[in-house]
Amino acid sequence: MNARLISLRARHGALDREVRSEAARLSADNLKVSALKRSKLATRDEIARLEAGLTA
C-alpha cells in the first residue's frame, strides 16, 4: 500500500502542475482545467482513504 500512496502523491503533484500550467495560459481551456481539478480531487480523496486505513 505504501507504493500506492507514493504513486498517488506523485500523480497528485503532476496534476497540480498541469492545472497551474493550463490555468496560466492566456487562452486556458476551462473545461480541461475543470477536468484536471476533478482528477486531482479524486486522487486526493483516494490518498485520504488509504491514509485513514493505515491509521485505523
- Residue 3: pLDDT above 70? yes
Query: Residue 5 contacts by C-beta under 8 Å, 6 or more apart in sequence?
Result: 47, 50, 51
Give the range of the structural domain holding residue 29, as residue numbers without chain letter. 2-55
- What mean pLDDT is predicted for residues 14-41? 96
Statement: residue 31 has pLDDT above 70: yes
Judge whether 27 and 55 are in contact, CB under 8 Å. no
Share of residues in the chain with pLDDT > 70 (%)? 96
Q: Are 13 and 34 in contact (CB under 8 A)?
A: no
pLDDT band at 56 (very low <50, low <70, confident <90, very high): low
Average pLDDT, whole number, for the chain? 94
What's the number of domains the chain is made of? Answer: 1
pLDDT of residue 55: 73
